[in-house]
Amino acid sequence: MHPTSTLSPALIDSFGRAITYVRLSVTDRCDLRCIYCMAEDMTFLPRAQVLSIEELAMLGKTLCELGVTKLRITGGEPLIRGGIVELMQQLGQIPQLQELCLTTNGTHLAQHAQALKDAGVDRINISLDTLKPLRFKQLTRFGDINQVFAGIKAAQAAGFQHIKLNCVALKHYNADEAPELVRFALGEGLDISFIEEMPLGKINGHGRAAEFVSSAELREQIGKHIALEPISTDTGGPSRYWRAAGFESLIGFISPHSENFCSSCNRVRVTATGKLILCLGQENSADLRSAMRNNPEPEAALRETLLNAIVHKPEKHDFDLADEPQILRFMSMTGG
Ligand code: SAM
Ligand code: SF4
Protein backbone atom coordinates (compact mmCIF):
# COMPACT_ATOMS: atom_id res chain seq x y z
CA MET A 1 0.00 0.00 0.00
CA HIS A 2 1.26 3.45 -0.86
CA PRO A 3 1.28 6.50 1.43
CA THR A 4 -2.10 8.18 1.80
CA SER A 5 -2.57 11.13 -0.54
CA THR A 6 -3.28 14.54 0.95
CA LEU A 7 -4.33 15.97 -2.41
CA SER A 8 -7.96 17.04 -2.62
CA PRO A 9 -9.78 15.72 -5.69
CA ALA A 10 -9.97 18.15 -8.63
CA LEU A 11 -12.19 15.93 -10.77
CA ILE A 12 -15.65 16.65 -9.37
CA ASP A 13 -18.71 16.16 -11.54
CA SER A 14 -21.84 18.29 -11.68
CA PHE A 15 -23.58 16.01 -9.14
CA GLY A 16 -20.79 16.60 -6.59
CA ARG A 17 -19.21 13.16 -7.02
CA ALA A 18 -15.40 13.19 -6.72
CA ILE A 19 -13.71 10.98 -9.29
CA THR A 20 -10.91 9.15 -7.49
CA TYR A 21 -10.95 5.81 -9.33
CA VAL A 22 -10.02 5.28 -12.99
CA ARG A 23 -10.12 2.05 -14.96
CA LEU A 24 -7.57 2.22 -17.73
CA SER A 25 -7.70 -0.19 -20.67
CA VAL A 26 -4.28 -0.92 -22.14
CA THR A 27 -5.44 -3.04 -25.10
CA ASP A 28 -8.68 -4.11 -26.81
CA ARG A 29 -7.12 -7.49 -27.71
CA CYS A 30 -7.62 -10.71 -25.82
CA ASP A 31 -6.47 -14.31 -25.99
CA LEU A 32 -9.99 -15.50 -25.02
CA ARG A 33 -13.45 -14.76 -26.46
CA CYS A 34 -15.87 -14.94 -23.52
CA ILE A 35 -19.34 -15.31 -24.99
CA TYR A 36 -20.83 -12.37 -23.02
CA CYS A 37 -17.91 -10.05 -23.78
CA MET A 38 -16.84 -10.49 -27.38
CA ALA A 39 -18.11 -11.74 -30.71
CA GLU A 40 -16.25 -14.80 -31.98
CA ASP A 41 -14.90 -12.90 -34.94
CA MET A 42 -13.49 -9.61 -33.67
CA THR A 43 -11.61 -6.94 -35.61
CA PHE A 44 -9.07 -5.35 -33.32
CA LEU A 45 -7.67 -1.84 -33.51
CA PRO A 46 -4.57 -0.93 -35.51
CA ARG A 47 -1.64 -0.43 -33.12
CA ALA A 48 -1.22 3.28 -33.98
CA GLN A 49 -4.66 4.01 -32.52
CA VAL A 50 -3.82 2.47 -29.16
CA LEU A 51 -2.11 4.59 -26.51
CA SER A 52 1.62 3.90 -26.19
CA ILE A 53 3.16 2.83 -22.88
CA GLU A 54 4.59 6.37 -22.52
CA GLU A 55 1.15 7.92 -23.10
CA LEU A 56 -0.45 5.52 -20.60
CA ALA A 57 2.17 6.43 -18.01
CA MET A 58 1.63 10.16 -18.61
CA LEU A 59 -2.11 9.68 -18.31
CA GLY A 60 -1.75 7.77 -15.03
CA LYS A 61 0.49 10.46 -13.56
CA THR A 62 -1.79 13.32 -14.66
CA LEU A 63 -4.90 11.61 -13.31
CA CYS A 64 -3.22 11.12 -9.93
CA GLU A 65 -2.13 14.77 -9.86
CA LEU A 66 -5.85 15.58 -10.24
CA GLY A 67 -6.77 13.56 -7.17
CA VAL A 68 -7.21 10.04 -8.51
CA THR A 69 -5.96 7.58 -5.88
CA LYS A 70 -6.95 4.24 -7.43
CA LEU A 71 -6.02 2.98 -10.88
CA ARG A 72 -7.21 -0.33 -12.27
CA ILE A 73 -5.41 -1.61 -15.37
CA THR A 74 -7.66 -3.69 -17.59
CA GLY A 75 -8.49 -4.47 -21.22
CA GLY A 76 -8.99 -6.64 -23.34
CA GLU A 77 -6.42 -8.77 -21.64
CA PRO A 78 -3.80 -6.46 -20.09
CA LEU A 79 -1.17 -9.17 -19.63
CA ILE A 80 -0.85 -9.73 -23.38
CA ARG A 81 0.05 -6.06 -23.92
CA GLY A 82 3.77 -5.63 -24.67
CA GLY A 83 5.47 -3.48 -22.01
CA ILE A 84 2.83 -4.11 -19.34
CA VAL A 85 5.34 -4.79 -16.56
CA GLU A 86 7.29 -1.61 -17.43
CA LEU A 87 4.02 0.35 -17.35
CA MET A 88 3.18 -1.07 -13.92
CA GLN A 89 6.67 -0.15 -12.69
CA GLN A 90 6.13 3.44 -13.79
CA LEU A 91 2.62 3.67 -12.36
CA GLY A 92 3.80 2.03 -9.13
CA GLN A 93 6.08 5.01 -8.50
CA ILE A 94 3.39 7.71 -8.67
CA PRO A 95 3.49 9.25 -5.18
CA GLN A 96 -0.23 10.13 -4.96
CA LEU A 97 -1.44 6.69 -6.02
CA GLN A 98 -2.80 4.62 -3.14
CA GLU A 99 -3.96 1.51 -5.00
CA LEU A 100 -2.66 0.03 -8.23
CA CYS A 101 -4.96 -2.78 -9.34
CA LEU A 102 -5.15 -5.19 -12.24
CA THR A 103 -8.05 -7.12 -13.78
CA THR A 104 -6.93 -10.15 -15.78
CA ASN A 105 -8.30 -13.38 -17.16
CA GLY A 106 -5.33 -15.09 -15.49
CA THR A 107 -4.06 -16.99 -18.53
CA HIS A 108 -0.67 -15.21 -18.48
CA LEU A 109 -0.52 -14.51 -14.76
CA ALA A 110 1.77 -17.40 -13.86
CA GLN A 111 4.61 -15.81 -15.87
CA HIS A 112 4.07 -12.27 -14.57
CA ALA A 113 2.79 -12.49 -10.98
CA GLN A 114 6.10 -11.88 -9.19
CA ALA A 115 7.17 -9.05 -11.55
CA LEU A 116 3.79 -7.37 -11.02
CA LYS A 117 4.10 -7.65 -7.26
CA ASP A 118 7.63 -6.20 -7.41
CA ALA A 119 6.35 -3.37 -9.62
CA GLY A 120 3.96 -2.28 -6.87
CA VAL A 121 0.64 -3.80 -7.96
CA ASP A 122 -1.55 -3.94 -4.83
CA ARG A 123 -4.56 -5.97 -5.93
CA ILE A 124 -5.43 -8.46 -8.65
CA ASN A 125 -8.89 -9.44 -9.85
CA ILE A 126 -9.01 -12.68 -11.82
CA SER A 127 -12.01 -13.56 -13.96
CA LEU A 128 -13.26 -17.08 -13.44
CA ASP A 129 -16.84 -18.00 -14.34
CA THR A 130 -16.67 -21.75 -13.74
CA LEU A 131 -14.46 -24.43 -12.17
CA LYS A 132 -15.24 -26.97 -14.88
CA PRO A 133 -12.67 -27.30 -17.72
CA LEU A 134 -15.25 -28.06 -20.43
CA ARG A 135 -17.56 -25.29 -19.36
CA PHE A 136 -14.62 -22.91 -19.28
CA LYS A 137 -13.81 -23.85 -22.85
CA GLN A 138 -17.43 -23.27 -23.84
CA LEU A 139 -17.69 -19.90 -22.05
CA THR A 140 -14.37 -18.58 -23.37
CA ARG A 141 -14.78 -20.38 -26.73
CA PHE A 142 -11.36 -22.14 -26.43
CA GLY A 143 -9.59 -21.34 -23.12
CA ASP A 144 -7.66 -23.76 -20.91
CA ILE A 145 -8.75 -23.41 -17.28
CA ASN A 146 -5.48 -24.87 -15.99
CA GLN A 147 -3.68 -21.70 -17.04
CA VAL A 148 -6.01 -19.70 -14.79
CA PHE A 149 -5.54 -22.06 -11.84
CA ALA A 150 -1.76 -21.73 -12.33
CA GLY A 151 -2.16 -17.95 -12.40
CA ILE A 152 -4.10 -17.95 -9.12
CA LYS A 153 -1.42 -20.09 -7.46
CA ALA A 154 1.36 -17.82 -8.75
CA ALA A 155 -0.41 -14.70 -7.44
CA GLN A 156 -0.81 -16.33 -4.03
CA ALA A 157 2.87 -17.40 -4.03
CA ALA A 158 3.96 -13.86 -4.98
CA GLY A 159 2.25 -12.60 -1.80
CA PHE A 160 -0.78 -10.78 -3.22
CA GLN A 161 -3.43 -10.14 -0.56
CA HIS A 162 -7.16 -9.91 -1.28
CA ILE A 163 -7.06 -11.62 -4.67
CA LYS A 164 -10.59 -11.43 -6.03
CA LEU A 165 -12.36 -13.72 -8.48
CA ASN A 166 -14.85 -12.05 -10.85
CA CYS A 167 -17.68 -14.21 -12.09
CA VAL A 168 -20.28 -13.11 -14.64
CA ALA A 169 -23.37 -15.20 -13.87
CA LEU A 170 -25.37 -16.55 -16.83
CA LYS A 171 -28.55 -18.50 -16.22
CA HIS A 172 -27.93 -21.40 -18.63
CA TYR A 173 -24.14 -21.61 -18.38
CA ASN A 174 -22.84 -21.22 -14.84
CA ALA A 175 -25.43 -19.82 -12.41
CA ASP A 176 -25.87 -23.30 -10.91
CA GLU A 177 -22.21 -23.26 -9.91
CA ALA A 178 -22.40 -20.21 -7.64
CA PRO A 179 -22.23 -22.21 -4.36
CA GLU A 180 -19.25 -24.23 -5.69
CA LEU A 181 -17.45 -21.08 -6.75
CA VAL A 182 -17.99 -19.57 -3.29
CA ARG A 183 -16.73 -22.75 -1.66
CA PHE A 184 -13.63 -22.63 -3.87
CA ALA A 185 -12.99 -18.98 -2.94
CA LEU A 186 -13.42 -19.70 0.78
CA GLY A 187 -11.07 -22.68 0.58
CA GLU A 188 -8.38 -20.67 -1.20
CA GLY A 189 -8.78 -17.55 0.94
CA LEU A 190 -9.92 -15.48 -2.06
CA ASP A 191 -12.63 -12.85 -2.37
CA ILE A 192 -15.27 -13.38 -5.06
CA SER A 193 -17.71 -11.06 -6.82
CA PHE A 194 -20.64 -12.09 -8.96
CA ILE A 195 -21.51 -9.66 -11.76
CA GLU A 196 -24.85 -9.22 -13.49
CA GLU A 197 -24.21 -9.22 -17.22
CA MET A 198 -24.40 -5.81 -18.87
CA PRO A 199 -25.76 -5.20 -22.40
CA LEU A 200 -22.52 -3.95 -23.98
CA GLY A 201 -22.14 -4.67 -27.68
CA LYS A 202 -24.32 -6.93 -29.80
CA ILE A 203 -23.28 -10.59 -29.91
CA ASN A 204 -25.08 -12.85 -32.38
CA GLY A 205 -26.55 -15.98 -30.84
CA HIS A 206 -26.23 -14.68 -27.27
CA GLY A 207 -29.47 -13.54 -25.64
CA ARG A 208 -28.64 -11.31 -22.72
CA ALA A 209 -32.19 -11.13 -21.33
CA ALA A 210 -32.52 -14.94 -21.46
CA GLU A 211 -29.28 -15.31 -19.49
CA PHE A 212 -30.11 -12.74 -16.82
CA VAL A 213 -29.90 -13.90 -13.25
CA SER A 214 -30.17 -11.35 -10.45
CA SER A 215 -27.77 -11.01 -7.54
CA ALA A 216 -30.66 -11.74 -5.17
CA GLU A 217 -31.34 -15.08 -6.91
CA LEU A 218 -27.66 -15.99 -6.65
CA ARG A 219 -27.55 -15.10 -2.95
CA GLU A 220 -30.61 -17.23 -2.33
CA GLN A 221 -29.02 -20.16 -4.13
CA ILE A 222 -25.70 -19.79 -2.32
CA GLY A 223 -27.57 -19.34 0.97
CA LYS A 224 -29.04 -22.85 0.67
CA HIS A 225 -25.51 -24.22 1.09
CA ILE A 226 -23.51 -21.50 2.87
CA ALA A 227 -25.02 -18.99 5.32
CA LEU A 228 -24.24 -15.44 4.21
CA GLU A 229 -24.30 -12.26 6.31
CA PRO A 230 -24.36 -8.77 4.73
CA ILE A 231 -21.47 -6.53 5.79
CA SER A 232 -20.79 -2.82 5.29
CA THR A 233 -17.28 -3.13 3.77
CA ASP A 234 -16.65 -0.69 0.90
CA THR A 235 -13.64 -1.32 -1.34
CA GLY A 236 -14.33 1.76 -3.44
CA GLY A 237 -15.99 -0.18 -6.28
CA PRO A 238 -19.60 -1.09 -7.11
CA SER A 239 -19.67 -4.43 -5.21
CA ARG A 240 -21.88 -4.93 -2.16
CA TYR A 241 -20.48 -7.50 0.22
CA TRP A 242 -21.54 -10.50 2.27
CA ARG A 243 -19.45 -12.88 4.37
CA ALA A 244 -19.70 -16.56 5.37
CA ALA A 245 -19.40 -17.16 9.11
CA GLY A 246 -15.86 -18.18 10.08
CA PHE A 247 -14.23 -16.96 6.84
CA GLU A 248 -12.44 -13.73 5.94
CA SER A 249 -13.32 -13.86 2.21
CA LEU A 250 -15.59 -11.11 0.90
CA ILE A 251 -18.46 -12.34 -1.26
CA GLY A 252 -19.52 -9.47 -3.49
CA PHE A 253 -22.37 -8.78 -5.87
CA ILE A 254 -22.22 -6.19 -8.64
CA SER A 255 -25.79 -5.48 -9.64
CA PRO A 256 -26.11 -2.83 -12.36
CA HIS A 257 -29.69 -3.97 -13.08
CA SER A 258 -31.21 -4.90 -9.78
CA GLU A 259 -29.44 -2.62 -7.26
CA ASN A 260 -28.44 0.59 -9.02
CA PHE A 261 -25.17 2.00 -7.65
CA CYS A 262 -24.84 5.19 -9.71
CA SER A 263 -25.39 7.70 -6.89
CA SER A 264 -22.08 6.71 -5.28
CA CYS A 265 -20.16 6.41 -8.55
CA ASN A 266 -16.57 7.59 -8.11
CA ARG A 267 -15.08 6.25 -11.34
CA VAL A 268 -14.54 6.80 -15.03
CA ARG A 269 -12.92 4.63 -17.70
CA VAL A 270 -10.37 5.24 -20.41
CA THR A 271 -10.41 3.03 -23.51
CA ALA A 272 -7.28 1.65 -25.16
CA THR A 273 -7.54 4.49 -27.70
CA GLY A 274 -7.57 7.11 -24.97
CA LYS A 275 -11.28 7.88 -25.01
CA LEU A 276 -12.49 9.00 -21.60
CA ILE A 277 -15.79 7.20 -20.96
CA LEU A 278 -17.67 9.05 -18.27
CA CYS A 279 -20.26 6.31 -17.66
CA LEU A 280 -20.19 2.63 -18.67
CA GLY A 281 -23.84 2.81 -19.72
CA GLN A 282 -23.78 6.13 -21.64
CA GLU A 283 -21.92 7.47 -24.65
CA ASN A 284 -20.51 10.73 -23.15
CA SER A 285 -16.78 10.82 -23.78
CA ALA A 286 -13.69 12.97 -24.38
CA ASP A 287 -10.65 12.38 -26.60
CA LEU A 288 -7.56 12.24 -24.38
CA ARG A 289 -5.36 10.79 -27.13
CA SER A 290 -5.78 13.90 -29.31
CA ALA A 291 -5.03 16.07 -26.30
CA MET A 292 -1.73 14.22 -25.83
CA ARG A 293 -0.76 13.83 -29.49
CA ASN A 294 -1.79 17.14 -30.99
CA ASN A 295 -0.38 19.60 -28.50
CA PRO A 296 3.12 20.95 -27.87
CA GLU A 297 2.46 20.62 -24.12
CA PRO A 298 0.67 17.29 -23.84
CA GLU A 299 0.46 17.14 -20.03
CA ALA A 300 -1.12 20.58 -19.78
CA ALA A 301 -3.56 19.76 -22.60
CA LEU A 302 -4.46 16.49 -20.92
CA ARG A 303 -5.19 18.20 -17.61
CA GLU A 304 -7.40 20.76 -19.28
CA THR A 305 -9.33 18.14 -21.27
CA LEU A 306 -9.92 16.06 -18.15
CA LEU A 307 -11.10 19.03 -16.10
CA ASN A 308 -13.44 20.20 -18.88
CA ALA A 309 -14.86 16.72 -19.48
CA ILE A 310 -15.65 15.68 -15.94
CA VAL A 311 -18.62 18.02 -15.57
CA HIS A 312 -20.33 16.06 -18.37
CA LYS A 313 -20.40 12.80 -16.39
CA PRO A 314 -24.03 11.59 -16.62
CA GLU A 315 -26.07 11.05 -13.49
CA LYS A 316 -26.70 7.34 -14.12
CA HIS A 317 -26.74 4.43 -16.51
CA ASP A 318 -29.97 3.19 -18.02
CA PHE A 319 -29.56 -0.45 -18.97
CA ASP A 320 -32.59 -2.14 -20.49
CA LEU A 321 -32.28 -5.85 -21.20
CA ALA A 322 -35.59 -6.06 -23.05
CA ASP A 323 -34.36 -3.66 -25.71
CA GLU A 324 -31.56 -3.93 -28.32
CA PRO A 325 -28.22 -2.93 -26.74
CA GLN A 326 -27.95 0.86 -26.84
CA ILE A 327 -24.26 0.79 -26.06
CA LEU A 328 -22.46 -0.64 -29.04
CA ARG A 329 -19.03 -0.79 -27.39
CA PHE A 330 -18.03 -4.23 -26.13
CA MET A 331 -16.77 -4.41 -22.54
CA SER A 332 -13.35 -5.33 -23.95
CA MET A 333 -13.27 -1.98 -25.78
CA THR A 334 -14.35 0.06 -22.79
CA GLY A 335 -12.17 -1.63 -20.22
CA GLY A 336 -14.14 -3.67 -17.70
N1 SAM B 1 -9.64 -9.72 -19.77
C2 SAM B 1 -9.70 -9.32 -18.41
C3 SAM B 1 -10.66 -10.19 -17.62
O4 SAM B 1 -11.42 -10.94 -18.24
O5 SAM B 1 -10.63 -10.09 -16.41
C6 SAM B 1 -10.00 -7.87 -18.19
C7 SAM B 1 -11.05 -7.24 -19.08
S8 SAM B 1 -12.69 -7.88 -18.87
C9 SAM B 1 -13.59 -6.89 -20.03
C10 SAM B 1 -13.13 -7.24 -17.28
C11 SAM B 1 -14.31 -7.85 -16.62
O12 SAM B 1 -15.47 -7.51 -17.36
C13 SAM B 1 -14.28 -9.36 -16.53
O14 SAM B 1 -14.45 -9.74 -15.18
C15 SAM B 1 -15.43 -9.80 -17.38
O16 SAM B 1 -16.00 -10.97 -16.90
C17 SAM B 1 -16.35 -8.60 -17.30
N18 SAM B 1 -17.29 -8.49 -18.43
C19 SAM B 1 -17.05 -8.58 -19.75
N20 SAM B 1 -18.18 -8.39 -20.47
C21 SAM B 1 -19.17 -8.16 -19.58
C22 SAM B 1 -20.57 -7.87 -19.70
N23 SAM B 1 -21.18 -7.78 -20.88
N24 SAM B 1 -21.28 -7.70 -18.55
C25 SAM B 1 -20.68 -7.77 -17.34
N26 SAM B 1 -19.37 -8.02 -17.16
C27 SAM B 1 -18.61 -8.22 -18.27
FE1 SF4 C 1 -11.18 -11.40 -22.86
FE2 SF4 C 1 -11.75 -10.55 -20.43
FE3 SF4 C 1 -13.49 -10.19 -22.44
FE4 SF4 C 1 -13.08 -12.63 -21.54
S5 SF4 C 1 -13.95 -10.93 -20.37
S6 SF4 C 1 -13.12 -12.00 -23.70
S7 SF4 C 1 -11.00 -12.58 -20.97
S8 SF4 C 1 -11.51 -9.27 -22.26
Q: What per-residue confidence (pLDDT) applies to 319? A: 55
Ligand nearest to the backbone CA of 151: 1
Among 4-18, 111-125, 138-152, 273-287, the minimum mean pLDDT is found in 4-18
Q: What per-residue confidence (pLDDT) applies to 314? A: 80
Ligand nearest to the backbone CA of 336: 1
With pLDDT > 70 as the criterion, what percentage of the chain qualifies? 88
Q: For residue range 194-253, what is the model confidence (pLDDT) as tens digits? A: 998 887 677 777 677 888 899 999 999 999 999 999 999 887 777 899 999 999 999 999
Give the pLDDT band of residue 260 (cuts 50, 70, 90). Answer: low
**Which residue's C-alpha comes closest to atom 8 of ligand 2?**
76
pLDDT surpasses 80 at 327 = no
Question: How many residues are given for the chain?
Answer: 336
Q: What residues line ligand 1, using a CB cutoff of 6 Å?
A: 30, 36-37, 74-75, 77, 103-105, 127, 166, 168, 195, 197-198, 200, 331-332, 336
pLDDT surpasses 90 at 23 = yes
Q: What per-residue confidence (pLDDT) applies to 320? A: 58
Q: Which atom of ligand 2 is nearest to the CA of 38?
A: 6
Q: For residue range 140-194, what is the model confidence (pLDDT) as tens digits? A: 999 999 999 999 999 999 999 999 999 999 998 999 999 999 999 999 999 999 9
Q: How far is ligand 2, taken at its centre, from the CA of residue 96, in Å? A: 30
Q: For residue range 77-107, what is the model confidence (pLDDT) as tens digits? A: 999 999 999 999 999 999 999 999 999 999 9
In sequence order, the 6+-apart residues with CB closer than 8 A to the CB of 21 are 68, 69, 70, 71, 72, 236, 237, 266, 267
In sequence order, the 6+-apart residues with CB closer than 8 A to the CB of 47 are none
* Whole-number average pLDDT of the chain: 90
For the chain, the three-class secondary structure string (H helix, E strand, C coil) is CCCCCCCCCCCECCCCCECCEEEEECCCCCCCCCCCCCCCCCCCCCHHHCCCHHHHHHHHHHHHHCCCCEEEEECCCHHHCCCHHHHHHHHCCCCCCCEEEEEECCCCHHHHHHHHHHHCCCEEEEECCCCCHHHHHHHHCCCCHHHHHHHHHHHHHCCCCCCEEEEEECCCCCHHHHHHHHHHHHHHCCEEEEEECCCECCCCCCCHHHHCCCHHHHHHHHHCCCCEEEECCCCCCCCEEEEECCCCCCEEEECCCCCCCHHHCCEEEECCCCEEECCCCCCCEEEHHHHHHCCCCHHHHHHHHHHHHHCCCCCCCCCCCCCCCCECCCHHHHCC
Q: What per-residue confidence (pLDDT) applies to 237? A: 72
User: Which of 9-18, 79-88, 260-269, 272-281 holds the top average pLDDT?
Assistant: 79-88
Residue 146's CB is within 10 A of a number of other CB atoms, namely: 12
